[in-house]
Each structure stands twice: as C-alpha cells, then as structure tokens.
Amino acid sequence: MSLATRPAPVVDNWNRPFWQACGERRLILQRCTATGRCFFPPAPVSPFTGRPEWEWTEASGQGELWSFVVFHQNYFAGMKDEMPYPVVMVKLDEGPFLLTNLDGMTAADARIGMRLEVRFPGGPEGFLLPQFGPVEAPPMEASVEAPVGAAA
C-alpha cells in the first residue's frame, strides 16, 4: 500500500485549516458557537443554525467504528494496489462522522462499535491523510504496593 499514490484532497478556503492541522498530525473540527456542537466536513456556516458563527477546535482523535464497506472496484487508479480495501465511517467522540480508511488493521479485524483513534501515516503530495486504527493500550504503570499493615 502506498498512500503517496492516492488522490490528493481538493483544498478550498473552508477546509484549508483542517488540512494544515492534519499536516501537523492534529485533528480539528468546526464547532458551532451557538450550539456548542461540532460538525464535519468544513463549511462556511453551521449546519445547526445556518449562520457563520463557528470556531475551530481540537478534536480528541477518538471515536468508534460506525460502519464500513469493502471496495472491490477500482475507482481511483492510485489505490489499485490496495484492493480490496475498507472505507470506514467513524463516529468521532465530538459527534461528527468521518469517512476514512483503516491503518494498522484489515477489514477482517474491523468490528462495529470498536474504539478507534486517528493516525497520520502519510499521503499524496505532502498531505497527511487522517486514518483510524485500534486504540493503543496505555502503557502499564509500575505499581508500588504498601506493605501489609502500613498506614495508607
């Protein structure tokens, strides 16, 4: 698989901050200032109010696998070597859905409802494409047990 051969995103005035943040390995979303709800894809107005009252906010990068399909048809020449490949819909913890691909797992490993986290493994023409993989287990902390009978 080569992310470098994928089609490059079309950048416009509304999604440019999103792609710049991805280039810094950060996931950002627009948040409606009237409702506090996040939305995606980037747009000039809030889908909740129809007004241009929104701000960019840092997303957690976490969500759950909501749905997926496996593409067997070659729709994009730059992805031919990846076929068949899954296209997944992730429901971000902040609320919006994001269509993306998996990183570090196959469609056979995918389970609806599983926790996923964003990764930025690469992309075409200098872009970093947000993809999602299984949530990494947090590192184990060394525990220090108090001797029996010791005061807590």
Beta bridge partners of 90: 65, 98
Averaged over 69-77, what is the pLDDT?
91
Give the tokens for residue 146.
């108090």
Q: Give the list of residues 6+ apart from residue 22 with CB closer than 8 angstroms, or none.
A: 120, 127, 128, 129, 130
Kindly tell me if the per-residue pLDDT of 143 is higher than 90: no
Structure tokens given for 150 = 């010791």
Helix and strand totals (H; E) in the chain:
1, 8
Mean pLDDT of 74-88: 89
Whole-number pLDDT of residue 152: 47
Mean pLDDT across the chain, nearest whole number? Answer: 91
The first and second tokens of residue 62, run together, are 């976490």
- Tell me the three state secondary structure of residue 78: helix
pLDDT of residue 113: 98
The average pLDDT across 42-63 equals 98
pLDDT digits (tens, 9 = 90+) for 11-29: 999 999 999 999 999 999 9
User: With bands split at pLDDT 50, 70 and 90, how would you rate the model's confidence at 2?
Assistant: confident
Q: Are 86 and 103 in contact (CB under 8 A)?
A: no
Q: 109-123: per-residue pLDDT in tens?
A: 999 999 999 999 999
CA atoms 112, 78, 9, 134: torsion sign: positive
Query: Do residues 128 and 116 make contact, with C-beta atoms less than 8 angstroms apart?
Result: no
